[in-house]
Chains A and B, each alone.
Chain A
């Protein structure tokens, strides 16, 4: 389904294929943009296409996107880009998470590091990747009062998701560890380390 997002963007709901298929469609639209298309972004199973409505006919672009949509499938299992992120599990909320979940610290670390995560969306700040799904046993709601300062590189969890903070920002997720991985670097041609549809594993250092 294609819906307008103002006069200069469309929002496409894929319905099936999840972030891997959405990520593939967005990448295809960025690599070979149809006339007038400026950018494309995937999040969960939605893709936004940004265009200059004076450089193309929005109506014709919508029809073309519907056709492109038919031809896009998710990369086959095992074909997605896989990232390994090394984590020092010494986060200040580790005891709180263990307490709330009734698990030991070692179990919290073991369960988090055993997960295979998909990049579902990137946002909040540049390079902040929402990763899922987190094992249900570790699922606790975010902090009632967000911290005003979460250090860059913090590995954190909230609900059924986990993430790494690319910048020092305010944040409400529970910090369980830290990494040296550069999640965002504006000097790289693809500044975010992770892209929607990629796969991520965490390895304890």
Chain B
């Protein structure tokens, strides 16, 4: 068991999301920064889909009530087990009774606390992630609160990774523009506006949450028309509002929408957008779908190498 001694302003249980229920209006959900969730799970030897804590904003404390292995990935943060520093991006051991103190987030937006075995909460619609607007999934469909406790799943077969997370699996280390592909209504921006978009630094507005990130700074030369009828949408879709703002749909974004979708953020780069804090800057670069698939494949093979190293190393958690 893990006990929440002091909950941060925001923490929920999240996993790799729900893939089968968009037709009922259920968004994919799951981790905002999927790469950090999957990397953290790889570090502790978990299945990539295992549930972890998605943690934001302020600090807090957890107490381990069993010996376990855990890892911190995603947002930059200071953390300690007792008085000893708990470094980011590697598997760490904690003994029963240890207290993990996590400071306020200093870089990025979402921290993942991944425990070996994953967080054991009931599956709802094929996922363990919390969907706050519908009050289901995770721990009672709500945020984690001080005094909560939760169980961990059984010991996985794969050992934890000994080394640190490689830089290509860090959503915060990457720099350079974020790849977007042209969307179904790309023509809503003129060629001039598309080239302007490539030069602009957009601002992440305070109205940015798990549903969508609102980006300001694009100057429209003409009014935006609606597309008439709603269409199915997707995570990463870049919508153009009548006011000329861009809204990128994030993990809990609606499954259908009537705003024109001028683009779609490359799935491999969406974690970087998710980690851009309010007031942060975003730069886009127009890419083709082939390149977006290559970016995903590069991440996937880095994850496989990480998992392979773990399997090749002696397993510290099992006696010969």
Do the two chains belong together in a single complex?
Answer: yes
Task: Report A's interface with B, CB cutoff 8 A.
Answer: 3-9, 11, 26-27, 30, 38-44, 46-48, 50, 53-54, 58, 121-128, 130, 167, 169, 184, 186-187, 190-192, 195-196
Taking a contact as CB atoms under 8 Å apart, the answer to whether B267 and A6 are in contact is yes
In the complex, A8→B34 CA distance in Å? 15
Taking a contact as CB atoms under 8 Å apart, the answer to whether A191 and B125 are in contact is yes
- A167: contacting residue among B133, B257, B297, CB under 8 A: B133
- Known contacts A7-B267, A184-B25: A43-B234 contact under CB 8 Å: no
> A-B contact count, CB below 8 Å?
140
Taking a contact as CB atoms under 8 Å apart, the answer to whether A7 and B230 are in contact is no
- A127: chain B residues at CB < 8 Å are 24-25
State the Cβ distance, B296 to closest chain A Cβ, in Å: 6
Interface check B136, CB cutoff 8 A: yes
- B231: contacting residue among A11, A26, A191, CB under 8 A: A11
- The binding surface of chain B is classed by DSSP as mixed
Taking a contact as CB atoms under 8 Å apart, the answer to whether A123 and B256 are in contact is yes
Task: Report B's interface with A, CB cutoff 8 A.
Answer: 19-26, 124-125, 131, 133-134, 136-137, 181, 183-184, 229-234, 236-237, 254-257, 261, 264-267, 289, 292-293, 296-297, 300
Taking a contact as CB atoms under 8 Å apart, the answer to whether A43 and B256 are in contact is yes
Taking a contact as CB atoms under 8 Å apart, the answer to whether B255 and A122 are in contact is yes
- A128: chain B residues at CB < 8 Å are 25
Q: What 3 A-B pairs are tightest by C-beta distance, nearest first?
A: A123-B256, A6-B264, A48-B232
- B234: contacting residue among A3, A50, A126, A195, CB under 8 A: A50
State the Cβ distance, A163 to closest chain B Cβ, in Å: 12
- A196: chain B residues at CB < 8 Å are 23
In the complex, A8→B231 CA distance in Å? 16
- B25: contacting residue among A47, A54, A126, CB under 8 A: A126
State the Cβ distance, A148 to closest chain B Cβ, in Å: 14
Taking a contact as CB atoms under 8 Å apart, the answer to whether A6 and B232 are in contact is no
State the Cβ distance, A21 to closest chain B Cβ, in Å: 15
